[in-house]
Amino acid sequence: MIRQSKFAQHLQLVMLQGIALAGFNVVDVFTLNREMQLPVLVIARKRPDLAAVKSALLTHLAGGRRKWSIIERLGPMEAIAGVFVQRVGISPESAEVVIRRFAIQSSIPEPLRAAHLIAGAIATGQSGGRV
């Protein structure tokens, strides 16, 4: 989908709000980085409870071991610029520059806030909470 975008040639970074989409659909950030030749920056407001995530993945979901191996390989989230991040292909210093440049109204960068608000409006007519 990213490659199909008319803006693909202008992209410099992929930002994700969390490594899992729509529940436990874990994004393989290593493949995304390799295939797109772009750095990937995963951002979260709070540090996730990895023990609970691991338990849920390994006991309740098909493909849980593969999904957990991606999370485990990425390592624990780092505190940078008031949020928690995981990163592939980008240094901590560059990640901080990106976050500070795009976090205007909150600690979460505006592209992620906007995406959250739009998704909430489409799904339920409103945002579900803090962005």
* Domain locations in the chain as residue ranges: 8-102
Buried b (16+ CB within 10 A) or exposed e, 79-107: ebbebbbbbbbbeeeebbebbeebbeeee
Query: What pTM, to 2 d.p., does this model score?
Result: 0.86
Q: How far apart are CA 109 and CA 83, in angstroms?
A: 10
**Is residue 128 predicted with pLDDT exceeding 70?**
no
Mean per-residue pLDDT of the chain: 90
In the three-class reduction of DSSP (H, G, I as helix; E, B as strand; rest coil), residue 78 is classed as: strand
Which spans in the chain are helix H? Answer: 29-36, 50-60, 64-74, 92-102, 110-124
The reported pLDDT for the residue numbered 60 is: 83
Extract the tokens encoding 107.
Answer: 């600690």
**Is residue 130 predicted with pLDDT exceeding 80?**
no
The reported pLDDT for the residue numbered 126 is: 67
- Taking the CA of residue 93 as centre, how many other CA atoms within 13 Å lie in the half-sphere pointing to its CB? 0
CATH superfamily to which 8-102 belongs: archaeoglobus fulgidus dsm 4304 superfamily (3.30.2170.10)
Q: Span 28-43, mean pLDDT? A: 95
Q: How far apart are CA 47 and CA 73, in angstroms?
A: 16
- For 52-107, write each residue's pLDDT tens digit: 989 989 998 888 999 999 999 999 999 999 999 999 999 999 999 999 999 998 89
The reported pLDDT for the residue numbered 127 is: 63
Short-list 50, 29, 45, 47, CA closest to 99: 45
| pLDDT top residue among 22 and 110 | 110
The reported pLDDT for the residue numbered 2 is: 84
| pLDDT top residue among 34 and 120 | 34
| pLDDT top residue among 66 and 117 | 66
